[in-house]
Amino acid sequence: MEFQISKLKWIREPEEYKVEEDRIEIKTMPETDLWQRTYYHFRNDNAPVLQMETDEKYFSFLVKTDFTESCHRFDQCGIVMYLDSENWLKASVEYENEAFGHLGSVVTNHGYSDWATTAIPADIKIMWYRFSRRVDDYCIECSRDGQNFTQMRICHMWEGTGKIKFGIYACSPEASAFKAVFTNMKITECMWKAHDGQAPDKEVQG
């Protein structure tokens, strides 16, 4: 499987964007986001998403994100696997204030979102992500240089067993807008290797 710009399709096409062979720019629109129910008790499902479709069971997708222009609380851009409004995952850096931002990920299964996050310095304006699939389990990693990746999370997607869609997104949950830039997009063999520690339970092996 190869990454091809021509295979990408919009879910909620934004008003302003630019798609080139090796670069994608998305101008976010105010009050756009992805979130379902948990804690906040609201449902947001209007962020623009640009994805490709595959039934490949083992692969990794890499992308470099540049969010230099983000300057308002919750501005964000990153990777996404959007299956439908109640089943998706995303990873991004969210702008918080001039001191720090949130590097985090959200996994939404059957209509309920979680949020795993850590604070990072606000002057970090570029982040790489690597999204890997092993059948219906997924790994999200991040990197400052595109070479050395750190695991953010491993998760299971209940509806992620067959054909999936994955790609990029950008949004501004509050009254703001910024330009998000995506480059260095590629698909490789699965870089998330099979576990070599404790053996699976017998019922799983069978």
Task: Say what the pLDDT of residue 101 is.
Answer: 98
Task: Say what the pLDDT of residue 19 is.
Answer: 98
Residue with tokens 């302003």: 16
Task: Say what the pLDDT of residue 202 is.
Answer: 74
Answer whether 101's CB lies under 8 Å from 95's CB.
yes
Question: CA-based diameter of the chain, in Å?
Answer: 53
Residue 75 to residue 183: CA distance in whole angstroms: 19
Q: How far apart are the first and last CA of the chain?
A: 29
| Closest C-alpha to 90, from 162, 167, 150 | 167
Answer whether 95's CB lies under 8 Å from 76's CB.
yes
Task: Say what the pLDDT of residue 1 is.
Answer: 87
Residue with tokens 């799983």: 204
pLDDT band at 203 (very low <50, low <70, confident <90, very high): low
Q: Write out pLDDT tens, residues 35-65.
A: 999 999 999 999 999 999 999 999 999 999 9
Sign of CA dihedral 163, 75, 85, 107: positive
Helix spans in 26-129 (H): none
Q: Map out the domains of the chain with their CATH numbers.
A: 5-205 (2.60.120.200)
Q: Write out pLDDT tens, residues 120-161.
A: 999 999 999 999 999 999 999 999 999 999 999 999 999 999
pLDDT band at 193 (very low <50, low <70, confident <90, very high): very high
Q: Which helix (H) or strand (E) holds 165?
A: strand 164-171
pLDDT band at 71 (very low <50, low <70, confident <90, very high): very high
Q: Write out pLDDT tens, residues 84-114.
A: 999 999 999 999 999 999 999 999 999 999 9
- For residues 51-80, average pLDDT: 98
Task: Say what the pLDDT of residue 201 is.
Answer: 82
Residue with tokens 């640009």: 50
Is 204's pLDDT higher than 90?
Answer: no
Answer whether 44's CB lies under 8 Å from 37's CB.
no
Task: Say what the pLDDT of residue 162 is.
Answer: 95
Is 205's pLDDT higher than 80?
Answer: no
Is 206's pLDDT higher than 70?
Answer: no
